[in-house]
């Protein structure tokens, strides 16, 4: 920092210029062999022709010629070997040394999960019951019995735009069903009331199924048509909620190891700083949490496209790597049949900013997943049943990706943002990390942590990662995030809509 560069990982053989640096400037004890623009890479030592170039501790390509210490590293001397089928599954799976887990104060559930919040959810099968779910929540806010429950964080309507006008069998239907069931089971809910209209494609009996949707049994359901209209549904729902809240409020926060945490990693409104401040800092926090036995979820498949073989190399087992490749092939088909294409190549603007290869660009997003082995790969909203660093397939679209992570079990979200996202995601608290100090200063009431000080104050990525982990533990124990204080989360349940609207 003092030298105007940043090293993103101890193993890297390049550092990043934080300002336009002239020829002869001395960085890490080495004089630059030529001028290097801001955001671009500098060889931290001599790199042999064909040697891997490492950024974030990850391969971003190979030197296409001998590179001297202090030289500018970019398209003229850094290339990417063809890798289309070179997935080398597990080749770079290096378990991290374990750490004694920290503790948080959480809500222990019947199935062994531990929640960070204790909400009661009013889940909806279809848009057509969405307004009534909100009316119920509004009535509950004014209900003295419900307001007297000391351990319930609130009654949360979970409203969306789909659930009918769709096939009742295809992939879109299965994805929505997984998403709704996943919310019903999320450990941040102490109880779920499912409200349907009655005639929708996503039938309430199919959602409820044969088994118990929630292990604690604190689950009830009703349809507006079966109950006799809006007012009757609100009245009956209030009675049900009073019983459910009584049960939910018996649970109190008790100590749990952070190995019980499931944290969704996200970025949105990214900027040129995301990949050098907040994302690697979050990656360090992820590594620490994984070393303590916790679980972190990387997602947003369109943004890692082209660098998937770096994740397959971290896979703990062949099936894990193969499952990721299968998801990538699925996405190629999904975009092709929608007259689009997957393309995460650096644009001319990206290249001007210092990003040389598709790997390097995707690694800016992947950096928030740290360096731990890849323990499992899940579909959107599939229940997460493995500790460690895992992947859940999703679009890059923030509210949709977070919705999948919460359906998969995430009890907390940590979200890096450069331009400034202000959303929240009930029932799971969301910690916002600003990538730059300028935006943090402008939007401090929305940003939980400034990672811009990695550049402006010379804070190390490791120290920032520890700060993030400490905040994760505090928030898991009940401290409200800024988006919770502001009341966010009523609009951001966005199931992934796949297929035709009929």
Choice from 205, 255, 340, 458 touching its own copies (CB under 8 A): 340
Q: Does 335 bind its own copies (CB under 8 A)?
A: yes
Q: Say whether residue 460 binds its own copies (CB under 8 A).
A: no
Query: Which pair of structure tokens corresponds to residue 127?
Result: 């848009």
User: What is the separation of C-alpha 259 from the centre of its chain, rounded to a whole number of angstroms?
Assistant: 17
State yes or no: residue 85 binds its own copies (CB under 8 A): no
Query: How far from 113 is each of 38, 271, 294, 344, CA to CA, in Å?
Result: 46, 35, 12, 37
**Residue among 110, 96, 89, 188 nearest 388 (CA):** 96
Q: Which does 267 bind (CB under 5 to 8 A by kind): its own copies, Ca ion, none?
A: Ca ion
Measured between alpha carbons, how far is residue 476 from residues 134, 246, 252, 326 in Å?
27, 23, 14, 34
Q: Which of 316, 315, 260, 310 is nearest to 289 (CA)?
A: 260
User: How far from 424 is each of 107, 399, 413, 486, 490, CA to CA, in Å?
Assistant: 21, 9, 9, 9, 8
The answer to the question of residue 395 lying near Ca ion (CB under 5 A) is: no
Q: Which does 197 bind (CB under 5 to 8 A by kind): Ca ion, its own copies, none?
A: its own copies
Q: Give 141-144 contacts, CB < 8 A, sequence gap 24+.
A: 143/238, 143/241, 143/242
Contact with its own copies (CB under 8 A): which of 154, 364, 388, 424?
A: 424
d(CA 404, CA 112): 21
Sole binder of its own copies in the list 38, 419, 479, 480 (CB under 8 A): 419
- The residue ranges of DSSP E strands in 234-311, in sequence order, are 254-257, 262-268, 295-298
CB of 214 to its own copies, least distance (A): 24
Selected binder of its own copies within 64, 96, 443, 463 (CB under 8 A): 443
Point out the residue whose Cβ comes nearest to Ca ion. 267
Element (H, E) at 352: helix 348-352
Stretch that binds its own copies, among 164-172, 308-316, 354-362, 407-415 (CB under 8 A): 164-172
208 contacts its own copies (rule: CB under 8 A): no
Q: Does 396 bind Ca ion (CB under 5 A)?
A: yes
Q: Does 398 interact with Ca ion (rule: CB under 5 A)?
A: yes
Q: Which is nearer to its own copies, 165 or 209 (CB)?
A: 165
8: left (phi over 0), alpha (psi -120 to 50) or beta: alpha
166-185 residues in contact with its own copies (CB under 8 A) are 166-167, 170-171
225 touches its own copies (CB under 8 A): yes
Binding partner of residue 353 among Ca ion, its own copies, none, CB cut-off 5 to 8 Å per kind: none
Does the CA dihedral 364-369-375-378 come out positive or negative?
negative
- The angle at the Cα of 112, spanning 122 to 400, to the nearest 5 degrees, equals 45
Closest CA to 119 of 93, 86, 90, 153: 153
Q: 54 vs 494, which CB is nearer to its own copies? A: 494
Residue 440 dihedral angles phi and psi, to the nearest 5°: -60, -45
One of 153, 200, 300, 448 touching Ca ion (CB under 5 A): 300
CA dist 384 and 376 (Å) reads 9
**Extended beta strands in 141-224, E state:** 154-158, 189-196, 219-223
Contact 384, 262 (CB under 8 A): yes
Which of 408, 421, 428, 450 lies at the binding interface for its own copies (CB under 8 A)? 421
Question: Which among its own copies, Ca ion, none contacts residue 496 (Cβ within 5 to 8 A by kind)?
Answer: its own copies
The binder of its own copies chosen from 363, 400, 413, 468 (CB under 8 A): 400
Give the C-alpha separation, 368 to 384, whole Å: 19
Rounded to the nearest whole angstrom, what is the least distance from the CB of residue 412 to Ca ion in the complex?
Answer: 17
486 binds its own copies (CB under 8 A): yes
Binding to its own copies (CB under 8 A) within 251-270 occurs at: 268-269
By CB under 8 A, what part of segment 129-158 binds its own copies? Answer: 130-132, 134-135
Q: Considering beta carbons, is residue 147 or 230 the nearer one to its own copies?
A: 230
Q: Which does 121 bind (CB under 5 to 8 A by kind): Ca ion, its own copies, none?
A: none
Residue 267 as a binder of Ca ion (CB under 5 A): the answer is: yes
**Segment near its own copies (CB under 8 A); pick from 110-118, 408-416, 460-468, 486-494:** 486-494
Which residue blocks in 148-262 are alpha helix, DSSP H? Answer: 171-185, 204-208, 224-227, 230-248
Binding residue (CB under 5 A) for Ca ion from 12, 153, 303, 467: 303
Residue ranges that bind its own copies, judged by CB under 8 A:
127-128, 130-132, 134-135, 159-161, 164-167, 170-171, 197-199, 224-225, 228-231, 268-269, 302, 334-335, 337-340, 395-400, 419-424, 442-446, 486-492, 494, 496-502
Residue ranges that bind Ca ion, judged by CB under 5 A:
267-268, 300, 303, 396, 398
């Amino acid at each position: 920092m003092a030298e105007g560069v940043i090293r993103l990982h101890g193993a890297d053989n390049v550092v990043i210029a934080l300002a336009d640096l002239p020829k002869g400037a001395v960085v890490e004890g080495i004089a630059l062999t030529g001028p290097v623009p801001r955001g671009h890479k500098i060889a931290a030592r001599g790199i042999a022709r064909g040697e891997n170039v490492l950024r974030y501790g990850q391969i971003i390509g190979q030197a296409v010629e001998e590179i001297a210490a202090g030289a500018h590293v970019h398209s003229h001397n850094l290339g990417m070997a063809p890798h289309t089928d070179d997935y080398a599954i597990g080749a770079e799976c290096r378990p991290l040394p374990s750490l004694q887990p920290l503790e948080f104060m959480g809500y222990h559930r019947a199935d062994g999960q531990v929640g960070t919040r204790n909400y009661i959810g009013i889940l909806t099968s279809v848009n057509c019951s969405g307004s009534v779910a909100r009316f119920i929540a509004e009535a509950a806010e004014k209900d003295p019995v419900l307001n007297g429950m000391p351990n319930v964080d609130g009654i949360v309507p979970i409203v969306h735009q789909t659930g009918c006008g769709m096939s009742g069998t295809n992939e879109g239907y299965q994805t929505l069903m997984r998403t709704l069931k996943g919310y019903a089971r999320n450990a941040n809910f102490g109880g779920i009331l499912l409200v349907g209209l009655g005639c929708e494609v996503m039938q309430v009996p199919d959602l409820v199924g044969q088994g118990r949707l929630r292990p604690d049994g604190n689950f009830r359901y009703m349809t507006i048509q079966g109950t006799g209209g809006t007012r009757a549904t609100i009245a009956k729902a209030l009675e049900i909620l009073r019983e459910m809240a009584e049960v939910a409020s018996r649970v109190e926060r008790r100590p749990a190891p952070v190995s019980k945490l499931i944290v969704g990693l996200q970025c949105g409104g990214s900027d040129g700083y995301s990949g050098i401040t907040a994302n690697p800092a979050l990656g360090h926090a992820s590594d620490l949490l994984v070393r303590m036995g916790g679980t972190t979820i990387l997602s947003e498949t369109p943004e890692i496209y082209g660098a998937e073989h770096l994740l397959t190399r971290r896979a703990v087992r062949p099936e894990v790597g193969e499952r990721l490749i299968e998801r990538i092939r699925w996405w190629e088909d999904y975009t092709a049949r929608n007259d689009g294409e997957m393309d995460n190549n650096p644009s001319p603007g990206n290249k001007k900013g210092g990003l040389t290869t598709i790997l390097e660009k995707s690694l800016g997003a992947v950096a928030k997943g740290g360096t731990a082995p890849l323990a499992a790969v899940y579909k959107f909203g599939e229940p997460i049943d493995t500790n460690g660093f895992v992947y859940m397939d999703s679009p890059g679209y923030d509210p949709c990706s977070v919705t999948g992570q919460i359906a998969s079990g995430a009890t907390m979200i940590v979200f890096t943002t450069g331009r400034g996202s202000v959303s929240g995601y009930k029932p799971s608290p969301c910690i916002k990390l600003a990538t730059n100090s300028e935006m943090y200063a402008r939007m401090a009431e929305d940003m939980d942590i400034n990672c811009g000080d990695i550049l402006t104050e010379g804070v190390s990525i490791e120290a920032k990662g520890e700060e993030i982990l400490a905040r994760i533990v505090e928030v898991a124990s009940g401290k409200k995030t800024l988006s919770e204080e502001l009341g966010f989360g009523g609009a951001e349940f966005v199931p992934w809509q796949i297929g035709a609207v009929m």
